[in-house]
Structures are given as C-alpha cells and as structure tokens.
Amino acid sequence: MYAKIQETAQWLKERISTQPKTAIILGTGLGRLAEEIKVKARISYNDIPHMPVSTIEGHSGCLIVGELGGKDILAMQGRFHYYEGYSMKEVTFPIRVMHELGIKTLFVSNAGGGMNPDFEIGDLMIITDHINFFPEHPLHGPNLPTGPRFPDMSEAYDKGLIALADRIAQEKGIKVQHGVYLGTQGPTYETPAEYRMFHILGADSVGMSTVPEVIVANHCGMKVFGMSIITDLGVEGKIVEVSHEEVQKAANAVQPLMAEIMREMIMNS
C-alpha cells in the first residue's frame, strides 16, 4: 500500500508545478466551490495511478491544483465512500497521497442530517469533534510510517482553525453552528429511531463520510477543519422523506456562504 501511495504521489509531483500546503475535500453538493479556484491543473481521477473513481452524482471526480484566497491549494472535487464498496484504505488513499505531496492543513466539507433541535435546514455547522460509527477502521492493519500506531485524537479538529472560522463568520454576519459529526457507513438515510440514538450518543449531525479522512489526516500530522451543511433534519416532529437530489439542492443553496468562510480562512491561515 505504501509503495502505491508513493508511486501516485511521484506521478502527481511530475505534473504539478506548485507545492500547495493546503487541501480541500469538496463533498456532496459542494463541488461548485471549485469555481472559486483559479485552476492551474485539473486531473481526472481516472488518469491518476491507483486512485479510486467517484461513482456518486454530485461528485465530479477531479483533482484540482490552483489558487484560492491567494494561496496554492489542492482540491478533491468528489470523494470516495465506504458504501460504494471501497475499503477504508481506498477511501483514505488520497489523504495519504496528500501527505506525501506536503499537505499540512486539510479542509473537509460534507452534507449532514441535523439532529440538534436548534438546527435548521441550510445551517452551517463547524465540526468540533466526531464519533466514528463505521464498521471498519481506516488505520486497521499494519501501521504506516506516517504516524504512531496509536494516534491521539483529543483535538481531531484544530481549535485554532475553529476560532478563525468563528471570527470570519462573525465579521461577515454568517450564522454558524457548532457540533459533533457522526460518521456512518450508509447508504441508507437514518430511521427516526437511529436519529434519536445518535443524538443520545452526543451527535449533532450525521453523514456518510469525513470521519475516515480526518482520522488518517491526524495520523499524518495534518491540521484539520471541517464543516457540515445541514441538508435535512432528524429532529422528532421535523423528519420528512429525503432524497439525494434534495440534499444536493439544500447544499447548493448555501454553499456560497461556506465558500466565503473557507476562502477567508485559507487566505488568513
């Protein structure tokens, strides 16, 4: 596995003229943040050695090298999910490659179902912590030399970046929530009973991604900032039937605000 990671990283180094220190993963409905990027190179996942291929509508499947907020960045336009049939090693393969490319800070975004009764559809939730509900751990198996066998997760989401996001949101008059994100394997949306259980466990939003990527980023020593767009509600009395198309629509409606926060964060971090 490590040999494949290094091979992929070397392949990309030969095709990337810059050395970005920041990477962004653009999740469901959030791929249009790529429009904010001054693109220098766009590489299809299909062309990258050993890279999985995104199969989900709303995930374009491109690696973008460019500039955002005056800083060189690397952006994944489309991610990989456990429910697509990939192993956790495959889901988190791009994070390992990012580390080999010199990435120090990772921004992650997703669409999530809100379980906090104070949340509304369209809220932006800064992720302060997470609960790993996936059946397979991304660090299962032989330890790679990028980090310790038992990595600390006491600050999985960097407090300095969270404080920066809060300051930017306040200055721009953008409402943000804080909360714990729970990652589950999917691909079904949650039942009302599951929403209740996850909220009792301490989660404020739930989704099918992010947690494995953040675990591996921490193993690699990266600083992480995460944000969820609340696209549906798992609050008793507010639960309605939800579709992937409705999730994308809700995410698209509010993504300019998230883009504004992330652009300013990258510019000032």
pLDDT band at 165 (very low <50, low <70, confident <90, very high): very high
Predicted confidence at residue 61, as pLDDT, reads: 85
Helix and strand numbers, DSSP H then E, in the chain: 7, 9
Helices 211-219, 93-100: crossing angle, 10 deg rounding:
30
Nearest of 53, 45, 62 to residue 85 by alpha carbon: 53
pLDDT band at 256 (very low <50, low <70, confident <90, very high): confident
Scan for tokens 């095709």, then name that residue: 15
Scan for tokens 């466990």, then name that residue: 201
Task: Name the CA dihedral angle for 89, 94, 97, 101, rounded to a multiple of 10 degrees.
Answer: -160
Q: Which residues pair with 24 in a beta bridge?
A: 75, 107
Residues 6+ apart with CB under 8 A from 115: 195, 198, 199, 203, 204, 205, 206, 233, 234, 235
Read off the DSSP letter of residue 190.
P
Contact assessment for residue 78 and residue 51, using Cβ atoms and an 8 Å cutoff: no
Mean pLDDT score, 27-37 = 71
Predicted confidence at residue 27, as pLDDT, reads: 75
Q: Does the pLDDT of residue 58 top 60, yes or no?
A: no
pLDDT tens by residue, 118-138? 998 889 999 999 999 999 999
What tokens does 215 get?
Answer: 């675990």
pLDDT tens by residue, 154-164? 999 999 999 99
Percent above pLDDT 90 for the chain: 64
Domain positions in the chain are: 2-268
Q: Please provide the CATH number assigned to the domain covering 2-268.
A: 3.40.50.1580
Q: Does the pLDDT of residue 2 top 90, yes or no?
A: no
Rounded Cα distance, 115 and 84, in Å = 25
pLDDT tens by residue, 96-119? 999 999 999 999 999 899 999 999
What percent of the chain is helix, strand and coil (3-state, nearest 5)? 35, 25, 40
> DSSP readout, 22-84?
EEEEE-TT-GGGGGGSEEEEEEEGGGSTT-----STT---EEEEEEETTEEEEEEES---GGG
For the ranges 72-81, 85-94, 207-216, which has the lowest average pLDDT? 72-81
Contact assessment for residue 64 and residue 42, using Cβ atoms and an 8 Å cutoff: yes
Beta strands 205-207 and 105-114: pairing type? antiparallel
Q: Which residues pair with 60 in a beta bridge?
A: none
Q: Is 23 left (phi over 0), alpha (psi -120 to 50) or beta?
A: beta
- 187: preceding bond cis by omega (within 30 degrees): yes
Rounded Cα distance, 38 and 128, in Å = 29
Predicted TM-score (pTM) of the model is: 0.92
Predicted confidence at residue 170, as pLDDT, reads: 96
**8-11 long-range Cβ contacts below 8 angstroms, 24+ apart:** 8/48, 8/49, 8/50, 8/51, 8/93, 8/97, 8/100, 9/97, 9/100, 9/101, 11/48, 11/49
